[in-house]
Amino acid sequence: MVTLTFETERKTQLLDITASVREAIARETGSVAVVFIPHTTAGIVLQASGATATGVAPDVEGALERLVDETWDWQHRDEGDRNPWAHVRAALTASSVAIPLEDGDAALGDFQTIFLCEFDGPRRRRVLVSVV
């Protein structure tokens, strides 16, 4: 298993981690890479990016902010939680993705990108990558 560390810059941010994941699996043998984020206010998603999809990440960020409003009457705020919306936004994403490997590389589609989804930034985040 490889532990990757990233610094996010905004409260809500999709951060492209594809190159780092590819580097982490480059010397591994196996048929699938599992990318896992051990945080309850962040997620992992596969989504489009590239020259013809530069607006996808900002659109997803904005949509999640609109779908889960920070001003709602959050029950677990009464328990002292300062970021209840971040937990809900993370629940709408995933804590891990499994990516098949082909010839030692992630078998991603032409526009697929691995994004760390930050919902309580800026923060330092860990991502665990395991090849099985």
Number of domains in the chain: 1
**How high is the mean pLDDT of the chain?**
94
Residue 127 · residue 117 · CB < 8 Å:
no
How many CB atoms are closer than 10 A to CB 66? 8
Q: Please state, in angstroms and rounded to a whole number, the distance separating the CA atoms of residues 82 and 111.
A: 36
Tokens linked to 30: 């196996």
Parent domain of 118: 2-131
Task: Specify the pLDDT at position 75.
Answer: 84
The CATH number covering residue 113 comes to: 2.60.120.460
Task: Specify the pLDDT at position 18.
Answer: 98
Half-sphere exposure in the Cβ direction for 123 (13 Å, CA): 18
| 17-40 pLDDT per residue, tens | 999 999 999 988 999 999 999 999
Q: Please state, in angstroms and rounded to a whole number, the distance separating the CA atoms of residues 122 and 12.
A: 8
Main-chain phi, psi angles of 22, to 5 degrees = -60, -40
User: 53, 57, 34: which is closest to 118 by C-alpha?
Assistant: 57
| 62-102 pLDDT per residue, tens | 999 999 998 888 887 677 778 889 999 999 999 999 999 99
